[in-house]
Amino acid sequence: MSAAAGTPAEGGGDRPWQSYHTAYTNAKAGMEGVDKEKVQKVIYEMSKGSKYFENEQRKEALTKQKIEHLHAQCAILTDNDISHFQKVAEKKLLELEASRDLSKIWLHTDMDAFYAAVETLEDPSLKGKPLAVGSMSMIATASYEARKFGVRAAMPGFIGCKLCPGLVFVRPNFERYTHYSELTRKVFQRYDPNFIATSLDEAYLNITNVCIERGITGEEVATELRAAIHQETGLTCSAGVAPNRMIAKVCSDINKPNGQFILPNDREAVLTFVSTLPIRKIGGIGKVTEQMLCQVLGINTCQEMLQKAAFLCALFSECSADFFLSVGLGLGGTETPEQRQRKSISCERTFTATKDSSLLFEKLANLAENLTDDLQKEGLKGKTLTLKLKTADFEVRTRAVTTRGYINSKEDILIYATKLLKAEMPLSLRLMGLRMSQLHDEKDDSSTSTQKTLDIFFRSSNSNLNVNGANGQSITNISGQDNGPISVTTKDEYLVPDTGTGASTDQQDFFVHDESIFIPEQRNLVNYNNEAVLSNPVIGDGLGGAKIDDVTPSAKVMNAEKLDDVGQLISHEATASSSKPGQQLWIDGYICSICGFELPPGFEEERQEHSDFHLAESLQQEETADSKRPICSGRLAEKPCSTTAPTPKKKLKSSKEGKHIPIDAFFAKCNKSL
């Protein structure tokens, strides 16, 4: 096996930026004509020497290591091994083919330049301007006008300014986005009451019944649904229709913005579609996976997975190989996933940094009230209460208490939350959040007696919060006067990383694969319909519909368990073991340890971008602190960093009818950017 053509030169040479690939250089819709090399050069030069840059290099080195290891694994495969795995692969392909279901029609919809479009709708003077929603540290999204310059989501604003001197900035307003998101969901509801919302601006709808009942095609549903969304919101979206969700999502990107692409429920059409489809277009295949498959096995398109099926089975875990082979066959989820049990309910607020303790306790009381309302509305109680704090210096801390009984009253929540907050005082905060996890339906709750012991403990002023800070976290039993057993979990994001686990975890992640790099989409779609996205809009941290790639290699979640005073096992909330600045982990496998944003494990690419966002955030903080000068000064023409005030809502006109890109041109374009 040899490395695929186009492997970037290693780090050096006349043009070092050519080997510098970050999330920012990966083209999004609307970035087709962008001079990729110019963008790469600007990004390289502006981030060289920074923490972000170092981290990118570290990630690059890890990927290289992974690739080398795979090469070595390939080299030791004997002819016998290969023929064995060929048989394994053939059997697997037959099984997968037998599972092909062409009876369902799925529609994936994705709003166009969502935050930017909402802001333009609210302030029509922004129309036609290169617009970035976000700040100098982080761009949440860019208008299509700005994308022409290479400006895109997850990029620090100061780099955006350099690429596009006339870039106009608008601060994000998440309440607005949630409002518009809810309007779109009302429309989705009409077509599929069990629609799956995967972010504020995206959803999957099973439109099989609508098509049958009304005797209309998937194409007609897509046209009608997009018109209805425009009618209700004044915003445009794009849609894809296909026999399964995996392909439907790819299709919704083809004629973006304000377009749609329909793939018929026909096996040949699906196979033809995947025969030229670049693997990176598949949700779950991010930069690292792409590089590995391309450089080790020469796989660029989905169909090439089939040609290399034996090697995929030989080199990867069964679960990963299954996923790759399904991609090659163009298979994806067709059944509506079971409604997943909600894992937690949370709320958080960002505010201007303050150290006024009475103000902070007042905010805490409001949060407790909101959390109580949400819990009671759903008839839930919880056992683990987590207090999340973001200090004025952007340090994120979480402090959790696990009770033996279930609670949901404002009084109880506030008692525990107050105790947790008091232990941190004095400090200046810019964000507070409360989360209740280990949820239980009220009707099954029989914990009244243990609750009493907890209450007594927390009301006791002599309780001893014995917190051990090793690795930025600890799990400690706290005994109050009545020996009521509870535990407290603490975590600081900015403490010393867990050097004991770092290197080996990287290796494990790589060899195990399953949960860290590739996860089949159909196993992981979460029905967020009534879940986190609605109840926990991403307030303050700016990643409504974040896109992602591979998990930070050292990411590790530990499930701590301890025996309580009476020898009973208490399961603690999973906490992260590493806490270096910018090192963000997925608590419980789906909650960002830094901002609490929730993303199911299948969304690997989104996760990478989300991680990149946090890195960019810390980079910008450092740079700002270092230079104490406005990073964009002199570079920003026209209206830099303007913050727009809301103006009366006006309807957007649909601007792009009949401008659809033919499928071949689309993929030719994609291939060029590989």
Residue 672 vs residues 34, 150, 301, 547, 666: alpha-carbon distances, Å = 12, 16, 13, 21, 10
459 CB neighbour count, 10 Å cutoff = 12
User: Do 119 and 145 touch, CB atoms closer than 8 A?
Assistant: no
- Residue 25 DSSP label: G
Q: With beta carbons less than 8 A apart as the criterion, state whether 312 and 324 touch.
A: yes
Backbone torsions φ then ψ of 442, nearest 5 degrees: -55, -35
- Tokens 């990643």 locate to 543
Point out which span in 56-64, 105-113, 381-389, 513-521 binds ligand DCP (CB under 6 A): 105-113
Q: Pairing between strand 344-354 and 429-441?
A: antiparallel
Query: Any contact of residue 56 with Ca ion (CB under 5 A)?
Result: no
Site string for Ca ion, 195-224 (x = CB under 5 A): ------xx----------------------
CA–CA gap between residue 532 and residue 435 (Å, rounded)? 12
SS (H, E, C) 124-168: HHHCCCCEEEECCCCEEEECHHHHCCCCCCCCCHHHHHHHCCCCE
Residue in 17, 85, 106, 115 binding ligand DCP, rule: CB under 6 A? 115
- What's the rounded Cα separation, in Å, for the pair 199 and 218? 23
Please state, in angstroms and rounded to a whole number, the distance separating the CA atoms of residues 505 and 553: 7
Stretch of 48-56, 113-121, 393-401, 555-563 lying at the interface with ligand DCP (CB under 6 A): 113-121
Q: Which of residues 2-61 bind ligand DCP (CB under 6 A)?
A: 28-29
Binding positions for ligand DCP, 127-156, rule CB under 6 A: 140-141, 153-154
Task: Answer for the pair 203, 196: CB distance below 8 angstroms, yes or no.
Answer: yes
Check if 638 is active-site: no
- 454 interacts with, out of Ca ion, ligand DCP, none, CB within 5 to 8 A per kind: none
Coil vs helix vs strand at 553: coil
The smaller minimum CB distance to Ca ion, of residues 239 and 436, is found at 239
Choosing from 60, 119, 145, 202, which is the catalytic residue? 202
Question: Residue 579: which of ligand DCP, Ca ion, none does it interact with, CB under 5 to 8 A by kind?
Answer: none
Query: Interface residues for Ca ion in 541-600 (CB under 5 A)?
Result: 545
Nearer to ligand DCP, 140 or 325 (CB): 140
**In the block, residue with structure tokens 């919060």:** 465
Residue 449 tokens, joined: 């007696």
**From the list ligand DCP, Ca ion, none, which binds 543 (C-beta under 5 to 8 Å, kind-based)?**
ligand DCP
Binding of residue 544 to ligand DCP (CB under 6 A): yes
By CB under 6 A, is residue 615 in contact with ligand DCP? Answer: no
User: Binder to Ca ion among 56, 60, 110, 604 (CB under 5 A)?
Assistant: 110
Residue 389 binds ligand DCP (CB under 6 A): no
Q: Say how many residues make up the chain.
A: 674
- In degrees, to the nearest 5, what angle opens at C-alpha 112 toward C-alphas 108 and 117? 145
Candidate ranges 309-317, 331-339, 538-546, 638-646; the one touching ligand DCP (CB under 6 A): 538-546
Question: Of 594-613, which residues contact ligand DCP (CB under 6 A)?
Answer: 609, 613
What is d(CA 295, CA 68) in angstroms, rounded to the nearest whole number?
10
- Under the criterion CB under 6 A, does residue 541 sit at the interface with ligand DCP? no
Residue 133 as a binder of Ca ion (CB under 5 A): the answer is no
Interacting residue with ligand DCP among 201, 290, 531, 617 (CB under 6 A) = 201
* Residue number, 111 or 574, with CB nearest to ligand DCP: 111
126 or 314: CB nearest ligand DCP: 126
**From ligand DCP, Ca ion, none, which one binds at residue 547 (CB under 5 to 8 Å depending on kind)?**
ligand DCP
> 3-class secondary structure for 365-411?
HHHHHHHHHHHHHCCEEEEEEEEEEEECCCCEEEEEEEEEEEECCHH
Tokens 């208008």 found at: 143
The answer to whether 157 contacts ligand DCP (rule: CB under 6 A) is no
Q: Least separation, in Å, of the C-beta of 336 and ligand DCP?
A: 22
Query: Does residue 253 touch Ca ion according to CB under 5 A?
Result: no
Q: Nearer to ligand DCP by C-beta: 141 or 372?
A: 141
Residues that bind ligand DCP (CB under 6 A): 28-29, 110-115, 140-141, 153-154, 201, 256-257, 542-547, 609, 613
Residues that bind Ca ion (CB under 5 A): 110-111, 114, 201-202, 545
Which residues participate in catalysis according to the annotation? 202
